[in-house]
Structure 1
């Protein structure tokens, strides 16, 4: 089973305002690597105080960071041919689309799946399917609202969900979740 778990943090409400990206690479059902990039958003130096309150990233943190355009080719190579999974995937897919549009990049055909829906299918009666709650349910400690940590927990929750659902291959993910898999 191979996929990429992805998470964005944003500087503002604008969908092109990625200020951090985290990716967790899963190969053969195992986490291979987790990476993150601080990103200087188009709104720089402006960061909305509400966003800062969530993730703690400020304009000073990204002042010497690359833009999304500077890191896209590296990210695209990591994602190429892989299923993308994100927690609240509509948000992350919109941020990715917004960044691609802002910088004039071709939008690749990326299949993506929301780990909330995966978790709901695996565990029917939880009160909350938020990332923090799911992590607590499974005794996973992490630095919430930092993109690399959120991406890795998303990957771990997805793997636990697939295990519970007895899904062991990407073809089975496509069979079980065909109606929930979207295209970027």
Structure 2
């Protein structure tokens, strides 16, 4: 099983305002790397107070950070050829698309899957399917709303879900989750 889990935090309601990106790379069913970047968003120095309340990232923390444009090639290399998984994938895929559009990058053809739909298929009767709830359900500790930590927990939950569904190869995921797979 090979995939990458991805997560973004944003500075404002604008989808292109990524202020942190996390990618967790899984190869042969094992987490091999988690990378996190603080990002100076186009809105800098403006951050909406509500966004700061969620993730705790302030303009001061990103004032000397690279822009998305400066980190994209490194991030893309980690994602290359992989299935992308995100918790609430519509949001994260939207942020990625908006950042790529803003900086004029070509959008790679990446299949992505939402770990919420994967969790609902794996554990049918849970009261909640938020990342924090699923992590608590599986006794996984993490620093919620920080991109690298969220991406890694998304990867861990996805691996547990694949195990529960007895999926061991990407082709099996494509078959079982085909209604839920989308293209970036």
2:94 maps to which residue? 94
Shift of 1:77: 1.0
2:81 maps to which residue? 81
2:114 maps to which residue? 114
Deviations, residues 120-150 of structure 1 (Å, cap 9, x unaligned): 0000000100000000000000000000000
**3-state DSSP class of the match of 1:41?**
coil
Does residue 49 of structure 2 align to residue 49 of structure 1?
Answer: yes
2:33 maps to which residue? 33
TM-score (structure 2 length as normaliser): 0.99
Please give the root-mean-square deviation of Cα atoms over the aligned residues, in Å: 0.4
Shift of 1:171: 0.6
| Separation of aligned partners in 2, 1:132 and 1:50 | 19
Shift of 1:57: 0.1
TM-score (structure 1 length as normaliser): 0.99
Does residue 63 of structure 2 align to residue 63 of structure 1?
Answer: yes
Aligned length: 184
Shift of 1:172: 0.4
1:139 maps to which residue? 139
| Separation of aligned partners in 2, 1:148 and 1:106 | 24
**Ranges of 4+ aligned residues in structure 1 off by more than 6 Å:** none
| Separation of aligned partners in 2, 1:2 and 1:108 | 17
Shift of 1:114: 0.1
| Separation of aligned partners in 1, 2:31 and 2:131 | 18
**3-state DSSP class of the match of 2:118?**
helix
| Separation of aligned partners in 2, 1:92 and 1:28 | 24
1:155 maps to which residue? 155
| Separation of aligned partners in 1, 2:12 and 2:125 | 34
Shift of 1:30: 0.4
**3-state DSSP class of the match of 1:179?**
coil
1:173 maps to which residue? 173
| Separation of aligned partners in 1, 2:91 and 2:71 | 20
1:15 maps to which residue? 15
